Structure 1
Amino acid sequence: MARPKLDRRDLLLLGGAIGIGALVSFVLRRGRDLGVDVGDNAIAQSVLHDSDSPRLRAPNADLIAVVFTDYLCPVCKVSAPALARAVADDGRVTLIYRDWPVFGEPAVAAARTALAAVPQGIYPALHTRLMAERRRLDPPVLRQAVEAAGGDWPWLLSVLESGGRVIDQRLARNAADARGLGLAGTPSMLIGPLLVQGALDETALKRAFAQARQLQISR
């Protein structure tokens, strides 16, 4: 079954994502503005109103945050716990996950596994485990993560077999939307109308939530 291919742009991102993510994170955490207002961008609006991607819902959400991420991205792995804490502390942010695997075939395999877990309702738990995993994400490790998240591995394999093409199309769409937004690599976030590139710590994320809400109010 065909899988998304790394093109020349993806290969360049692979080499520079770690440095770009760290540099942008450093700058953003210390600047007055955490990101760019893209509220009038049609692609941004489409991403925010995406109903197909997995998500962690907040019952009384007044803000949507979309995270573009890769399970093999070291900066993503470091920043994921801060994002989880900031979202939990806020309590009014619905988090949408956009898998954008640019770190080669193992990253694609991990992303496909995560998306195949959606029918079991374990995507957020599996996402957390894969981000925390420091071993190579080969099939035995992926299976352990799925089962530790409460999933059924044979069921997941059947989803990959029957729905792999749909999963690959979703990954291709995620990549197209990332490029359409001008993202330089992972991690990147669209927080309401606020586009943020690079990792933010917990304090900066809370500032970004507040800034995004202000932008929503001012529209």
Structure 2
Amino acid sequence: MKKLLCAITLVTAASAITPSYLQAAPLDADQQQQVRELVRSTLVENPDILVEAINELRKRELQAQEDARKSSLESRKDQLFNTTDDPFTGNPKGKVAMVYFADYNCGFCKRQDTILEQMVKQYPDLKIIYKELPVLGETSREAAELILAAHASHPDMYQKLHHRLMSKPGGHDSASIAAAFKAEGLDAKALKKKVDNNIRTKVDNNLRLASELGIRGTPAMVFADEVLGGFTNADQLSEKIKSRLN
């Protein structure tokens, strides 16, 4: 079987480099039928060949996706890690920086959030940059815009507001969003007036950036060389951080 495949490969390669005037004439209908029957019988007798081919194709597709993602990360490094107006927690000059995309209506984000708090305490050389990614409806967008408006005038309030919004079980409505801001001494109606084109553009840019990185939902965390899509438990995330600190 291997000899047959090698022969076919050699014939194919030879035909590709042989001058056209020396190449054999195209196969006629009978010859084409014989080739089809040979290929069919070969696959029927050796079905593992097809499985191997599919596995190899999938492997190449995954590698191509990974290469494209790494290229995207490299070209968007400044957008991810070198902005001056994104909220963050942890060490501002930390050795390891991680971008966190989240939605305040996302149940998995609420679970992820407590793990990130743990990571900041456990690793003093970690910086976490927040990127609002409202993908779960109108109230997701409302909460994202309001918290960015609050951050613009009260940057020290962001962390408290973020945790307050994340601490509510289930999804938000406008009333629960307003209540979260009120609990921290801020008026949601007044903040809504401060939601300008800069804030809307910032949210749109976050959505575009996530899409370009292949992020399809929340939570998602991004290191300089890797994208973690979906919920990541404490042990897994701890290993990711430790490996980059060493």
Find runs of 4+ consecutive structure 1 residues off by over 4 angstroms. none
| 2:136 alignment partner, SS class | coil
Q: Which has the higher helix share?
A: 2
What letter corresponds to residue 117 of structure 2 in structure 1? A
Offset of 1:136 from its aligned partner?
4.5
Q: Which residue of 2 aligns with 1:92?
A: 125
Change (3 A) 1:59 1:52: closer
Counterpart check, 1:175 vs 2:210: no
Q: Which residue of 2 aligns with 1:20?
A: none
Q: Which residue of 2 aligns with 1:138?
A: 173
Q: Which residue of 1 aligns with 2:102?
A: 69
Task: Flag structure 2 segments of 5+ consecutive residues without an equivalent.
Answer: 1-65
Does the 8 Å contact 2:103/2:219 carry over to 1? yes
Residues 139-158 of structure 1: pairs in structure 2 closer than 5 A: 139-148=174-183, 150-153=184-187, 157-158=189-190
Q: Which residue of 2 aligns with 1:56?
A: 89
Offset of 1:175 from its aligned partner?
0.5
Size of the aligned set, in residue pairs, is 177
Normalization by structure 2: what TM-score?
Answer: 0.65
| 1:127 alignment partner, SS class | helix
1:82 to 96, 111, 115: 115
Cα distance in 1 for residues equivalent to 2:86 and 2:107:
23
Normalization by structure 1: what TM-score?
Answer: 0.72
Task: Flag structure 1 segments of 5+ consecutive residues without an equivalent.
Answer: 1-34, 215-219
Q: Once superposed, what is the RMSD of the aligned Cα atoms?
A: 2.3
Larger Rg: 2
Instruction: Give the share of equivalent positions with the same residue, in percent.
Output: 25
Cα distance in 2 for residues equivalent to 1:187 and 1:59:
22
Give a deviation string over 1:9-58, Cα, whole Å, max 9, x none: xxxxxxxxxxxxxxxxxxxxxxxxxx998386211343111222111141
State the structure with bigger RCO (CA 8 A, min sep 6), 1 or 2. Answer: 1
What letter corresponds to residue 122 of structure 2 in structure 1? D
Counterpart check, 1:127 vs 2:162: yes
Counterpart check, 1:164 vs 2:196: yes
